Structure 1
Amino acid sequence: MRRLAWLALAVLIGLGAAAVTGVRIADATGSAPYLLATAALLAIGLYGSTYGIDVAAARQDRRLIVTAVTVGVVVKAAVIGAALALAWQDPLFLLLGIVVAQIDPLSVAALLGDDRLSPRARTVLAAWSSFDDPITVVLTVYAAAVATDALGLDHRGEQGVHVADGLAAYAVDLGLNLLFAGLVWLVWRFGVRDRPRWATALLALAAAVAVWQFLMLGLALVGLFLRPAWLERLLPRITQGALYAATVLLGLLLIGGIALPQGISLGVAAFAAQILVGWLLTRNMPPADRLHLAFAQQNGITAIILALRLEAQFAGVVAVVAPAILVTNLTHYAANHLLDRRTPA
């Protein structure tokens, strides 16, 4: 709850700065510096989310984890998007459903010391929350590319593309991300694995290429093996810094207004979709673990930065997503507080 309060303060700082200075970041959302900055923040968050995964433990539940971060993400996004697109008669919610379909790994990290979660549930939740982020990033990028053509959304910037072209581009991009991660792995495995300084240089180069070419899924995969030891203590601080920087930027954009009713409905829908998907996918786990995984939905750095990226194409995205993040996290706090009171320690 304290972390949520600090994030709210960061939003207010950004909002206050925009009000006092008159700076309108919205006018620069399509610029190269803005897009590179948001890509860099996203890269930090995605690499940080996979750096700490216990790969050996995750292998034991690999089928559940893979299903959760692929089928689960798509189902959650579809449930959220379809329900709200119908309710608000606005196809933009089909896109916003993807933006909030992931579980924030930074928030999850704070839960992993909870004794009410079994070691197996902790591993599943950590891997789920880490890998659904890059999946939603890739989905969002190409859903946005086809949205203007397929859904007739108002947009600013580049013209949309046909659905078939978008799906082809999605497949090509997925292949490029896998190729990128594979090349980095080869260099690491046969060149710098036992050379810490060279491994650090390789990570810096990989991160720069990932930001430049927006190979976010590839960088997340790199986090599974390229892990300089010196980063273990610093990475949480770096990631938190990226989160607060993104949140201040979110506040700067909120000077244009907040769509509170739409945001509340998006936040509640995101939490409800996780209950549905989490309960269905964990049917072979103990009841207590199933409940905690079903109530695990939180949004954070990835949802924030995806909103910042989409604002460059669709005006008003931040106005909806910002309150949605707050509502989702408050709902998580209240629901888990009640669950913990009813569940024996």
Structure 2
Amino acid sequence: MALSRGALLVAVLGASWLGGRALHVDDVYLTPAYHYFILALLAIGLYGSTRDIDVGELRSNRRTVLLALSIGVMAKVVFIAAVMLVLYPEPASLVLGVAVAQIDPLAVASAQRRRHMSSSTRAVLNAWAAFDDPVTVLLTVYLSMFALRAAGIGSSADAVTSPAAAFVVDLALNLLFACAAYAVWWVARRTGLPSRLAKADLVARAGQVAVAVVALVYAVFGVSQSLMLGIALIGLFFRPYLAWRRTATGFVFGALLVATGALGVVLAGTTELLTAGTVVKGVVLGIAAYVAQMLAGGLLSRGRGRFDRLYLALSQQNGLTAIVLALVLEPDFPGAVAVIAPAIVVTNVLYGVGSAVVTRLEKQAPVPVPVPVWVMVAAHMNIRATRARRALSAEPARPKL
């Protein structure tokens, strides 16, 4: 995070914690309204992660992206969970490891200005940061079912339902939700509706508002059914109009501020759980998450340039999704916020240190300047002309006597 944004988030966290202490909102995270509120924040973050992905670059780097989203995410989850289970052998350690395994898309967006980052690495990093959010969200939800059962917690209905079967059913519902939205979008494109609404006249603006209302109602339905992956997939094709893009970016950052405020309120209501032990546990969790990204990024960046390998290996930073997952886990795993909050701080600090190191290395390395093709052709022709002139002006060899 940039220093100004980090300072703002710390200020919001502190103010919300003080406000929560003053208002004595101890059990706010146990209410049904809290659950839907947090899911809405998560949906905003997931849509914000995917709406700026370059689909063309995504196709050209699909193999690396698929590896990052499958092997990369799973390798990080396994590594973090293994570290936590060895040091803290309890079912909750597995879920805590998944909650901080994703890369913050806001951090990735700020890294796009790197001078030495190739377009291929930029596409891979964008897609990785965008789609490991919904993947880790699904893993967190369903691994928490395993963890609760291992701890002997859960209703009889939960015991009947297999977490694996529930995962498959939920995945199918998410895909159906996204496909229905895509079908409507495809029909609208065929009729030329987007081009007509992209104009700057009053009728087009009214149409844009109508489309936004319909999309919002559909998103509310998705949130009510917890279809987070489907909402993330919709971001790949349903993009804001040019005039609305700044508003959409503001919504995502606003969700981050609101989530940070909610984190402070929950911390205020669970102050007795924030101990030296939970802080140390959070520090270990944050370090494990950062090291896991270094290992996964190193494996997936083989064959790339020096700086591309560094960008992928040092890109771990937690943001909105980790904060929201901490808030989601708190009702079932008391103390989750007290552990994940320090972990988020640790990964952000390590990200800042790694970013500073890379910046220093970039300043020492020359910036590669691409040579235009016509310059290369002209240089080649000049060399050939010089050789021809030398051959013509060379003194003929004297015959031997």
| TM-score normalised by length of structure 1 | 0.94
Aligned position for 1:280: 299
Aligned position for 1:204: 216
Aligned position for 1:244: 257
Work out whether 1:267 is the aligned partner of 2:286. yes
Q: CA offsets per residue over residues 10-41 of structure 1, 9 Å max, x none? A: 110111112222221xx132322101100110
Counterpart AA for 2:238 = L
Query: Which of 7, 19, 22 is the aligned partner of 2:9?
Result: 7
Work out whether 1:312 is the aligned partner of 2:317. no
Unaligned ranges ≥5, structure 1: none
Q: Tell me if the contact between 1:177 and 1:217 (Cα under 8 Å) persists in the aligned partners.
A: yes
Q: CA offsets per residue over residues 299-335 of structure 1, 9 Å max, x none? A: 0000000110111211100000001000000001012
How many correspondences in the alignment?
A: 340
Q: CA offsets per residue over residues 155-210 of structure 1, 9 Å max, x none? A: 6x756845970000001100110111011100110136624436434422321111
Q: Tell me if the contact between 1:145 and 1:160 (Cα under 8 Å) persists in the aligned partners.
A: no
Query: SS at 1:283's partner residue?
Result: coil
Query: Which of 246, 258, 268 is the aligned partner of 1:233?
Result: 246
Distance 1:191 1:13 in 2: 45
Distance 1:120 1:202 in 2: 35
Distance 1:2 1:160 in 2: 48
Distance 1:106 1:120 in 2: 19
Aligned position for 1:63: 63
Aligned position for 2:164: 167
Counterpart AA for 1:105 = P
Offset of residue 127 of structure 1: 1.2
User: Alpha carbons of 1:158 and 1:330: their partners in 2 closer, same or farther (altered >3 Å)?
Assistant: farther
Query: SS at 2:103's partner residue?
Result: coil
Detail structure 1 runs of 4+ shifted over 6 Å in the superposition.
none
Distance 1:268 1:163 in 2: 37
Counterpart AA for 2:182 = W
Aligned position for 2:177: 180
Distance 1:160 1:144 in 2: 15
Query: SS at 2:151's partner residue?
Result: coil
Q: CA offsets per residue over residues 51-75 of structure 1, 9 Å max, x none? A: 1111111111111112112221111
Distance 2:97 2:160 in 1: 18
Q: Tell me if the contact between 2:28 and 2:266 (Cα under 8 Å) persists in the aligned partners.
A: no
Query: SS at 2:193's partner residue?
Result: coil
Aligned position for 1:17: 19
| TM-score normalised by length of structure 2 | 0.81
Q: CA offsets per residue over residues 240-293 of structure 1, 9 Å max, x none? A: 110010001101111223321011001110000000001001113212101111
User: Identity across aligned pairs (percent)?
Assistant: 41
Counterpart AA for 1:170 = F
Query: SS at 1:29's partner residue?
Result: helix
Unaligned ranges ≥5, structure 2: 198-206, 368-401
Answer with 191-200 or 91-100: which moved more.
191-200
Distance 1:22 1:29 in 2: 12
Q: Tell me if the contact between 2:29 and 2:266 (Cα under 8 Å) persists in the aligned partners.
A: no
Distance 1:260 1:146 in 2: 25
Counterpart AA for 1:311 = E
Distance 1:320 1:160 in 2: 29
Work out whether 1:223 is the aligned partner of 2:235. yes
User: Alpha carbons of 1:160 and 1:133: their partners in 2 closer, same or farther (altered >3 Å)?
Assistant: farther
Distance 1:91 1:142 in 2: 13
Q: Tell me if the contact between 2:17 and 2:265 (Cα under 8 Å) persists in the aligned partners.
A: yes
Answer with 6-15 or 214-223: which moved more.
6-15
Q: Tell me if the contact between 1:146 and 1:160 (Cα under 8 Å) persists in the aligned partners.
A: no
Aligned position for 1:100: 100
Query: SS at 2:182's partner residue?
Result: helix
Distance 1:228 1:331 in 2: 33
Offset of residue 339 of structure 1: 2.6
Counterpart AA for 1:207 = A
